[in-house]
């Protein structure tokens, strides 16, 4: 908002001077010196055959008068800009009155976001944690900035785990009723699934026959043969109930609760399109599509003739059908893109928030869809790959015994640790508050990192009530709430007088531009940092000023309005990050 206004002033002057090109303005890199700066003059002068410092001075002489800014030229040809007292008051009032606190809408694209990705019949584990956290925040960011966003949880519900789980339950004598009709229909519980799948998954690696049979069972389910399909539906139901509970605790909401299985009717259609384009062929009984591009699959010279051929930068063909006719992960993803483009019109982008280690899978899927025209040319297909959540040893976060941690256990851990913290701070709390704080700690700890990077999951650090943490931000809002609750003053015209207040306004303006940065980077770290900076500048102000006991009623009411403004800006940012703020803590 302010940057645009300064740019306009500069550009009017440039036009008067007959200079081609436009000046850009950024936040100052030397805050002691100025608030904003333009670094464009040097190159504009060069392009127009002028002396840089002379041009900078000419621009200053040709500026329309402005109440809100002071301009200064600095060597070699910078223009430094400072907000005036009137400027601070003017912009503070605009921010205060605007329902979005001055954040502009910047896009109206239609986007489908694929995140969550929990697998039916398998317990959710730590590897699935980042997807709902990042996905939910990106969804809120995109819609806040004006886009039409549809979120789809895309459950993993059409793969080998189905056959494995069902076969194991059968062999454990739990499914006799469905095959013999004897006795009563069993109640399938989550515990049964949670034992069956890991057992079967371990067996498939050792027992070739078992694996083959599980493949057969998976195929029967995919072919909707009874009673296999009916049992599958029961398993899915139990599982999805549990998945919904966990996602709701994490504050992830989905418009569509679809899964791989929902794209089933599009599988043959997709395979047909691919076949008609002459893209697929049979290899070892399987249906495959070559997707490698130049610079990929470069043969590495063999050391001996009987060594198997290896490749540099390998990009294997996408396998769409197995030897036995079963379909795979890539197939359901391709069919899902066909389904989305058939049932939802005008999607500008489809974005996947999935573990970075699935990079090649998405390259294969996207290339097949583009080649086959299943995704229109101008549609963006994007994999936003997130890094691994590591333990303090720098390795993927595991339990002490080396097992992957179940999401359920993580949530319990968040609640326990947050409870400890609240207890030691002498705060009254219940499970809901502990969960709210624990989840905020984890989310902010996660989102403050660049999405693509691995990070260390250090819950003790994340849970601190001081520093760059979720609880600190929640606490800041609660503190403002408690001040506002103690007064009947309604607030009045904002008068920015001291440096601490100026800093708050500047930090709100910075926070506002961090939305666009986050949008462009598809990562929320800049938004997290700017939110923290605003909270920190509020704390500094708060520590140095008496608010409620201020005698001058104009001043007191100006403070109250400023507090309301900070609260609105913080709440808006936290809600974009999908971090809940409790009333009190
Ligand atoms: N179920 C998958 C997994 O656990 C994640 C799904 C991601 N989304 C997708 N469209 N492939 O790895």
Q: Model confidence over 48-83: pLDDT tens digits?
A: 888 999 999 999 999 988 999 999 999 888 999 999
Answer yes or no: is pLDDT of 409 > 90.
no
Across the range 122-142, mean pLDDT stands at 92
Residue having the nearest C-alpha atom to atom 12 of ligand 1: 117
* pLDDT for position 458: 87
CA–CA separation, 104 and 91 (whole Å): 14
Answer yes or no: is pLDDT of 457 > 90.
no
Check: pTM over 0.75? Answer yes or no: yes
Closest alpha carbon to 541 in 505, 569, 500, 507:
500
Cβ of 352 below 6 Å from ligand 1: yes
Cβ of 156 below 6 Å from ligand 1: yes
> Which whole-number Å values give the CA distances from 305 to 64, 191, 308, 375, 466, in the listed order?
78, 52, 8, 42, 63
Cβ of 333 below 6 Å from ligand 1: yes
Distance 160 CA to ligand 1 centre (A): 14
Residue having the nearest C-alpha atom to atom 6 of ligand 1: 117
Cβ of 116 below 6 Å from ligand 1: no
Backbone CA torsion sign across 115, 119, 120, 125:
negative
Are residues 60 and 19 in contact, defined by beta-carbon separation less than 8 angstroms?
no
Residues 6+ apart with CB under 8 A from 67: 84, 86, 87, 90
Answer yes or no: is pLDDT of 395 > 90.
no
3-state secondary structure 497-555: CCHHHHHHHHHHHHHHHHHHHHHHHCCCHHHHHHHHHHHHHHHHHHHHCCCCCCCCHHH
Across the range 406-417, mean pLDDT stands at 89
Domain chopping of the chain, boundaries: 2-83, 160-241, 407-576
CA–CA separation, 124 and 119 (whole Å): 7
Closest ligand 1 atom to residue 260 Cα is 10
CA–CA separation, 68 and 97 (whole Å): 18
Distance 91 CA to ligand 1 centre (A): 45
Q: Model confidence over 184-240: pLDDT tens digits?
A: 899 999 999 989 999 999 999 999 999 999 999 999 999 999 999 999 999 999 999
Q: Which element (helix H / strand E) includes 72? A: strand 69-74
The DSSP secondary-structure symbol of 46 reads: H
Cβ of 117 below 6 Å from ligand 1: yes
Confidence band, pLDDT 50/70/90 cuts, at residue 123: confident
Residue having the nearest C-alpha atom to atom 3 of ligand 1: 117
Distance 204 CA to ligand 1 centre (A): 21
Residues 6+ apart with CB under 8 A from 180: none
Backbone CA torsion sign across 29, 32, 35, 40:
negative
Q: Is the peptide bond before 232 cis (omega within 30 degrees of 0)?
A: no
If one residue of 118, 159, 358 were mutated to test the ligand 1 pocket, choosing by the most ligand atoms within 8 A of its CB, it would be: 358
Q: Model confidence over 104-115: pLDDT tens digits?
A: 999 999 999 999
* pLDDT for position 401: 74
The number of beta carbons lying within 10 Å of the beta carbon of residue 343 is 11
Distance 246 CA to ligand 1 centre (A): 17
Distance 205 CA to ligand 1 centre (A): 22
Cβ of 114 below 6 Å from ligand 1: yes
Cβ of 506 below 6 Å from ligand 1: no
Closest ligand 1 atom to residue 122 Cα is 4
Are residues 77 and 47 in contact, defined by beta-carbon separation less than 8 angstroms?
no
Measured distance between the N- and C-terminal CA atoms of the chain, rounded to whole angstroms: 34
Across the range 233-254, mean pLDDT stands at 94
Distance 551 CA to ligand 1 centre (A): 60
Cβ of 263 below 6 Å from ligand 1: no
Confidence band, pLDDT 50/70/90 cuts, at residue 284: very high
Distance 483 CA to ligand 1 centre (A): 46
Distance 332 CA to ligand 1 centre (A): 10
Closest ligand 1 atom to residue 128 Cα is 4
Answer yes or no: is pLDDT of 399 > 80.
no
Q: Which fold has domain 407-576?
A: Isoleucyl-tRNA Synthetase; Domain 1 (1.10.730)
Give the count of alpha carbons within 13 A of 312, CB side only. Answer: 7
* pLDDT for position 229: 96
The DSSP secondary-structure symbol of 98 reads: S
Are residues 221 and 120 in contact, defined by beta-carbon separation less than 8 angstroms?
no
CA–CA separation, 309 and 293 (whole Å): 19
Distance 156 CA to ligand 1 centre (A): 6
Residues 6+ apart with CB under 8 A from 356: 385, 386, 387, 388, 452
Q: Which fold has domain 2-83?
A: Gyrase A; domain 2 (3.30.1360)
CA–CA separation, 412 and 452 (whole Å): 27
Residues 6+ apart with CB under 8 A from 468: 444, 448, 528, 529, 532
CA–CA separation, 11 and 23 (whole Å): 6
* pLDDT for position 410: 87
* pLDDT for position 124: 83
* pLDDT for position 407: 84
CA–CA separation, 8 and 216 (whole Å): 68
CA–CA separation, 354 and 123 (whole Å): 17
Closest ligand 1 atom to residue 329 Cα is 11
Distance 154 CA to ligand 1 centre (A): 7
Cβ of 438 below 6 Å from ligand 1: no
Q: Model confidence over 494-516: pLDDT tens digits?
A: 999 999 999 999 999 999 999 99
* pLDDT for position 394: 83
Across the range 25-37, mean pLDDT stands at 92
Distance 182 CA to ligand 1 centre (A): 38
If one residue of 113, 114, 117 were mutated to test the ligand 1 pocket, choosing by the most ligand atoms within 8 A of its CB, it would be: 117
Cβ of 501 below 6 Å from ligand 1: no
Residue having the nearest C-alpha atom to atom 7 of ligand 1: 117
Across the range 475-500, mean pLDDT stands at 94
Are residues 160 and 215 in contact, defined by beta-carbon separation less than 8 angstroms?
yes
Q: Give the gyration radius of the chain's Cα atoms.
A: 29
Cβ of 471 below 6 Å from ligand 1: no
Distance 259 CA to ligand 1 centre (A): 9
Closest alpha carbon to 120 in 239, 202, 231, 238:
239
Closest ligand 1 atom to residue 119 Cα is 1
CA–CA separation, 305 and 134 (whole Å): 48
Across the range 256-283, mean pLDDT stands at 97
């Amino acid at each position: 908002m302010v940057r645009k206004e300064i740019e306009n002033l500069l550009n009017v002057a440039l036009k008067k001077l007959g200079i081609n090109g436009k000046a850009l303005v950024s936040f100052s890199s030397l805050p002691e010196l100025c608030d904003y700066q333009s670094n464009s003059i040097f190159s504009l002068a060069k392009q127009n055959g002028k002396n840089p410092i002379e041009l900078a001075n000419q621009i200053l002489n040709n500026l329309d008068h402005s109440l809100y800014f002071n301009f200064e030229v600095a060597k070699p040809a910078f223009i430094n800009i400072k907000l005036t007292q009137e400027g601070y008051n003017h912009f503070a009032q605009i921010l205060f009155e605007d329902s979005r606190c001055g954040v502009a809408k910047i896009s109206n694209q239609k986007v489908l976001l694929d995140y969550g990705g929990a697998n039916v019949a398998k317990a959710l584990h730590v590897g699935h944690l980042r997807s709902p956290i990042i996905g939910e925040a990106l969804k809120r960011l995109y819609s806040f900035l004006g886009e039409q966003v549809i979120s789809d949880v895309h459950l993993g519900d059409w793969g080998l785990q189905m056959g494995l789980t069902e076969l194991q339950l059968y062999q454990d004598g739990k499914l006799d009723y469905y095959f013999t009709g004897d006795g009563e229909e069993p109640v399938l519980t989550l515990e049964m699934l949670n034992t069956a799948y890991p057992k079967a998954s371990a067996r498939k690696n050792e027992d070739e026959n078992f694996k083959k049979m599980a493949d057969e069972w998976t195929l029967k389910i995919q072919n909707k043969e009874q009673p296999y399909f009916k049992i599958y539906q029961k398993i899915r139901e139990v599982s999805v109930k549990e998945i919904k509970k966990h996602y709701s605790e994490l504050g992830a909401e989905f418009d569509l609760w679809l899964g791989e299985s929902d794209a089933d009717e599009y599988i043959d259609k997709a395979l047909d399109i691919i076949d008609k384009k002459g893209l697929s062929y049979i290899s070892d009984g399987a249906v495959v599509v070559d997707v490698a591009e130049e610079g990929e699959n470069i043969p590495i010279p063999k050391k001996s003739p009987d060594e198997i051929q290896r490749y540099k930068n390998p990009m294997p063909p996408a396998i769409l059908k197995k030897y036995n006719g079963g379909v795979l992960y890539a197939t359901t993803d391709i069919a899902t893109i066909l389904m989305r483009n058939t049932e939802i019109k005008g999607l500008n982008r489809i974005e996947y928030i999935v573990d970075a280690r699935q990079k090649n899978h998405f390259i294969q899927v996207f290339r097949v869809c583009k080649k086959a025209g299943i995704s229109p040319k101008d549609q963006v297909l994007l994999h936003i790959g997130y890094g691994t959540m590591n333990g303090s040893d720098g390795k993927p976060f595991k339990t002490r015994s080396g097992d992957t941690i179940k999401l359920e256990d993580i949530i319990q851990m968040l609640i326990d640790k947050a409870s400890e913290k609240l207890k030691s701070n002498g705060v009254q709390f219940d499970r809901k508050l502990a969960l709210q704080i624990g989840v905020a700690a984890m989310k902010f700890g996660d989102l403050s990192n660049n999405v693509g990077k691995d990070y260390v999951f250090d819950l003790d650090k994340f849970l601190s009530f001081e520093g760059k943490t979720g609880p600190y931000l929640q606490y800041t809002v609660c503190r403002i709430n408690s001040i506002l609750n103690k007064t009947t003053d309604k607030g009045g015209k904002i008068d920015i007088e001291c440096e601490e207040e100026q800093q708050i306004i500047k930090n709100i303006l910075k926070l506002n531009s961090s939305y666009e940065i986050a949008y462009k980077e598809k990562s929320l770290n800049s938004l997290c940092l700017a939110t923290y900076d605003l909270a920190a500048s509020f704390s500094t102000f708060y520590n140095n000023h008496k608010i409620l006991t201020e005698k001058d009623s104009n001043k007191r009411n100006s403070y109250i309005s400023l507090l309301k403004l900070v609260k609105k800006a913080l709440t808006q940012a936290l809600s974009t990050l999908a971090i809940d703020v409790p009333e009190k803590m």
